[in-house]
Chains A and B, each alone.
Chain A
Amino acid sequence: MDEEVNNILLVATELKSPLATLRQMALSLGGLDVNNKIVRDDMVAVSDRAIRQVNDLMRIGKLGDRLFEMEPVAVRGVCDEVTRELQYLFHFNKRDLFIRYSNRARLVTANYELLKSIIYNYLLNAVYYTGDGVKSELVVKDIHDKVRVIVRDYGPSLPVDVWREMKRGFIEKPTSIAMRPGTGGLGLYIASRFSRYMGAGIGAVRHRDGTSFYVDLTVSKQARLF
């Protein structure tokens, strides 16, 4: 891992404690009226998302230790959990999410937490880069002997250099994406590291009106009866 990435991981470790403290301080606020309760809940939700990204970065530092077990994971269940967690954010930003599952293979070989993070980061990306009232899409389907999870957004198209990196299946380090302001490309970097660990493939499809990000997962044979 290069020095720049190491420094990012170091900063993430330092940020974790203050974020958890801020979250706890927000939760400790008492005697609030309805409007201030909404502000408090927003503060907690923002802290939760920041803590999640910090935890993801810290996990990247631990990937080398092979601590994350690969196991059969119900991919639809992971998608359901992520969408439940992000429902609030979609609603808050006046975004819609269309969900379609058509995969026949229900179990994939993955690490639950790492897969959850990949889908979470893709969907978070979709929240930010889809316009008001426009639907993003979460699709799970079979592609040959793999299960593909796709998140389609209707925002600015992905720059071709980032697309090339994703096509290669590996993003070296977080870089800002010019056509997608306000992002350091952190979500895609996290997705690329986690997918490589799990032996899953990631990629992106550039559309004229947005981007589809996907992860291809190996079907688990463990629980197959036929």
Chain B
Amino acid sequence: MVFVIDSNIEMANCVAKACGDCVVKIFHNAIEAMQALDNCLPSLIFMDIDLTGPNGFSFLNEVISYEDTSKVPAVIISDLDLSKFDLSMYGVVGFLNKDTMKPEDITEYVTKYTQ
């Protein structure tokens, strides 16, 4: 299962569509996603940093604080250029730029982390 967290509904749907046959759960804020993590652990999280309410970093802080969720890899999809920062301590395994990414970029991560 893949989690997609983005306050922009259309963008979240596009990301979900690019995940192909994989089961995807979409969340529009960090709180909903955090609550869902209590019930199931995804294989991968695609998430924006600018979220309504608590931002993506607050969410990642929460995720890495629990033993089980800390192992879930996250890919940041943002229009901020964060690629020069090492965010591996937050479980971040990759960055995609919203301005330039293609569906294949998402598929690549899905293939790598869900199979």
Contacts and interface: CB of A to CB of B under 8 A. Distances in A.
A40 to B, nearest CB: 12
A21 B11 contact: yes
A55 B98 CA distance: 12
A20 B18 contact: no
A28 B11 CA distance: 10
A24 interface: yes
A28 B104 CA distance: 10
A24 B106 CA distance: 12
A21 B101 CA distance: 11
B98 A20 contact: yes
A51 interface: yes
Interface in B70-111: 79, 98-99, 101-103
A16 B13 CA distance: 18
A55 B17 contact: no
Contacts of B99: 16, 20, 23, 51, 55
B102 to A, nearest CB: 6
B40 interface: no
Interface string B54-74: 000000000000000000000
Contacts of A25: 10, 14
Contacts of B114: none
Contacts of B11: 17, 20-21, 24
A23 B96 CA distance: 14
B8 interface: yes
B26 to A, nearest CB: 14
A51 B10 CA distance: 17
B52 to A, nearest CB: 13
A27 B8 contact: no
A28 B17 contact: yes
B67 to A, nearest CB: 35
Contacts of B8: 17, 21
B14 A24 contact: yes
A170 to B, nearest CB: 28
A14 to B, nearest CB: 13
A23 B98 CA distance: 9
Contacts of B18: 28
Contact of A17 (B14, B15, B79, B101): B79
Given A20-B98, A21-B8, A27 B79 contact: no
Nearest to A58: B79
Contacts of A23: 99
Interface string A171-200: 000000000000000000000000000000
13 contacts: A16-B79, A16-B99, A17-B11, A20-B98, A20-B99, A21-B10, A24-B101, A27-B14, A28-B13, A28-B14, A28-B103, A51-B99, A55-B99
Interface of A: 16-17, 20-21, 23-25, 27-28, 51, 55
